[in-house]
Structures are given as C-alpha cells and as structure tokens.
Structure 1
C-alpha cells in the first residue's frame, strides 16, 4: 500500500528542529469525531528496539472489529536515527511505523498507538503526529503518564477521570480492569476524548491492555520477521 502523507517533513533533524515541527503541525490536529463508516478493522501499533537500540522495530497488528480476531500483521526495521528524548519519541519511532504500515494491503479504519496523543507537552504525541501525517483517526494508549494530573479512578472496569494540564482536559485515565493500574488515553486525530475512551474499552477484553496493543507489543518484541 502506498501511503499518502500530509504535511510531510524531514526526519533527520535536531531536537530543536523537531520541536518546531511539532509546534507547526499541532494546529492540524482535529478532535471532532470523524471515523470512516463502518469500522471493520482496528490496528495496534507498537515499537521496540534491538541491537542495543541501534535498530528500531515497528509492528502493526490488524484486528477484525468487533470480534478482535487477528487478521493481518506487518513489521519493519530501520536504523535508529534520533536520540531518546521524552516528548520527541515520534521522531525516533514513526519512520519505522510508516514502513510497517506500507506493507499492509489497506489502512485499517482506526489506529491505536502505544504512546500519547494530545496528552503531551505540545499536544502532539506519536498518535497525533501519525494521525496528522496520514489524516487518519488515531488514539494514544499510554501505559504511563507523560504530563497532567488527575483525581482517583474508581476501581471498576470502564471507570475513568479526566487528565488535565493547566486547566485543559487532555485525555482520560481509564480503568480497563479491576485491581490494576489505569491506562492514559488521549485522542490523536479525528476523535474526541470520549470516543477515544469508548474505542479503547471496546478493544479491551479481560486484560489491562486492549487487544490491539497486546498483539502489536508481541509482534514488536519478536527479533526475526514473522
């Protein structure tokens, strides 16, 4: 599949240039619900590293919706060209992600990324960055908090509270399983916060992580191409 990139930019940049790109592109993020109909496939995206972080490995797991059965997967490896800098991880990871997505026959209707959407210092985490580049609905599924504060989350599946930063709601802290730590969910592009929460819960079965993320993480951790 040939990807059509919107607002394409160079990846071989300095951290200062990367921040400037984020500041420029974040104005294209849309938080209104704009999903293709019907949603028949959802995908999880995860990134791992090998050879002492010299190689970046991205994996995409495509699941049928609503059955959440694995339909297809792809992976790609690229040399790691950008340093590890919190808040700029998309510059380290997206080049490999784009390569993995290109191997699919078509783009799934919804992409769930292991990382942040607008719950980011510049409101432009990896899910937002990828969503704007592809002009495609994306959600950030964070296992840890990057920024913001929140109140206690009730200990029942489906409960959530707003994640706030400087008076702005930037995501949701969601309990996907009773008795386990919550996830940090934020829309990336073309989704509202409430819809992002609903879709993550719809992709979650009996585990903490949604099935999209579980499959993608498993594939990203495999050393050899499957």
Structure 2
C-alpha cells in the first residue's frame, strides 16, 4: 500500500481545522475503486495507559466470504488530544504504521468513525483515504452531526443523514432490533456503493465483520481503552 506520509502533523486544534478545510476539496465521493473487490479491511484504534498510547489495528478479510487473511497492530505515543471533530489527528499516525505492516493490500477500508458525515466533511475515513489513496468508508456507531428521519426496522433499511440541505451520509439498519449505523463515504466511493459493501460485510451482527475483528484486535490487551466519542466508538471498546 502506498502511504503518503505528511511532512508534519498539526499540533493545535486551529492548525488541524485549517488542514481539514484545505483537504476537503480533494475527497472523491464517486466510485473509483477496484473491480472486483477481493480484499476488505477493518480499521480501528484503542488507547492504553490513560490514553497516552494509541493502539491501532487493521484486519484484512477476503471478499465476499469474509475470511481473515492478514492483520497488523501498531502502538505509539498519542500525540494529539481528544477533540471532537479531530479524531484523525489522534489516531491516523498509528493507523498508518499498522497499514505499512500488511502483506496484503486491501481494496476497500472500513473505518470505525465518520467519513463525510462530519462538520467539515473530513472525518477519519476521508483523511485516511487521502493519505493512502484508497477507497474508504466511514462506519460509525453514533452521530456526530446532522439529522434524519426514523429508520424503518428491517435489515437494509436506511434514510439519508442531512446537514441542512446536504446529504452527508446514511443511517442504516444493519440488523433488526438494534441501533442503526451511520455510514458515509470516505474517499473514492459513493454513498450508495458504501451502503452496498457495508451490508455485504454485515451478514449476522450489527457491526460489519471488518469492524468486529479490528475492534477485537485493537482491544485485546488488558487496559486498552476507548475514548473516541461520536466520531468512532462511543465509550469503552467492546470485545466480540
């Protein structure tokens, strides 16, 4: 995987927001992904030692049968504070280290967090997609911004997530009787195609298999913590 490492990471909220405003115009929300998709990956992160260490996990699965093929784990000191809307600056440096360890390059990355469903349309899935020039999807468990109608109860039902007049994502019922997921394009993929692949990766549980397996790897060390808020996991990382 070709990774475009930045020369430097912002160290203040003002600098991070300015970079998001600069990068948002580079995000592609039309389908420019490999055909066929053979490998999908889940990306997740947790924290250790009261948040001072970031622990990032990537798990690659075959598609469409969703069998695990490759995985990587990276740990490094956390260099950016938790600030709502700026999750990528806290997690992506460690995620890039994990991606660099893979022996199989995924065709599509499903990120535990937002894509375009973000106040500045540059959630972690968008930012990561730009840095690795790959198709990415934001799969979040809670809403960061926007409003929506009630989602019908059956699996596969979805409604648009709106911010004013803009459709910034979708609210998807991935399993009957469970809370919906917030799906949005990250990079090089449309909303409709993102929904298709999320459902294909979610045969049984509320969360896609990519997310479940990456979450397990990211949180399998005693003391790993979750503190993402609505951009990603809402509260403690869970073992599945």
TM-score w.r.t. the length of structure 2 is 0.90
Q: Tell me if 1:54 matches 2:37.
A: no
1:9 is displaced (CA, Å) by 4.5
Give the match for residue 5 of structure 1.
4
Gaps of 5+ in 1: none
Paired with 1:106 and 1:25, the residues of 2 have a C-alpha distance of 27
Cα deviation 1:11-33 (Å, max 9, x = unaligned): 14211000011011111000110
1:136 is displaced (CA, Å) by 0.7
1:134 is displaced (CA, Å) by 1.3
1:49 is displaced (CA, Å) by 0.3
Cα deviation 1:101-123 (Å, max 9, x = unaligned): 00002320000000000000000
Paired with 1:223 and 1:206, the residues of 2 have a C-alpha distance of 26
1:77 is displaced (CA, Å) by 0.3
Q: How does 1:159-170 map to 2 (within 5 A)?
A: 159-170=157-168
Q: Secondary structure at 1:96's aligned position in 2? A: helix
Q: How does 1:47-196 map to 2 (within 5 A)?
A: 47-196=45-194
Q: Secondary structure at 1:16's aligned position in 2? A: helix
Paired with 2:78 and 2:11, the residues of 1 have a C-alpha distance of 13
Paired with 2:42 and 2:133, the residues of 1 have a C-alpha distance of 17
Given that residues 74 and 103 in structure 1 are in contact (C-alpha distance below 8 angstroms), is that contact kept between their aligned partners in structure 2?
Answer: yes
Moved over 2 A (4+): none
1:222 is displaced (CA, Å) by 1.7
Give the match for residue 24 of structure 2.
26
1:202 is displaced (CA, Å) by 0.5
Given that residues 117 and 127 in structure 1 are in contact (C-alpha distance below 8 angstroms), is that contact kept between their aligned partners in structure 2?
Answer: yes
Give the match for residue 229 of structure 2.
none
- Supply the RMSD in Å over aligned alpha carbons: 1.2
How many pairs are equivalent? Answer: 222
Given that residues 148 and 161 in structure 2 are in contact (C-alpha distance below 8 angstroms), is that contact kept between their aligned partners in structure 1?
Answer: yes
2:34 pairs with one of 33, 36, 50? 36
Given that residues 174 and 184 in structure 1 are in contact (C-alpha distance below 8 angstroms), is that contact kept between their aligned partners in structure 2?
Answer: yes
Paired with 2:190 and 2:148, the residues of 1 have a C-alpha distance of 18
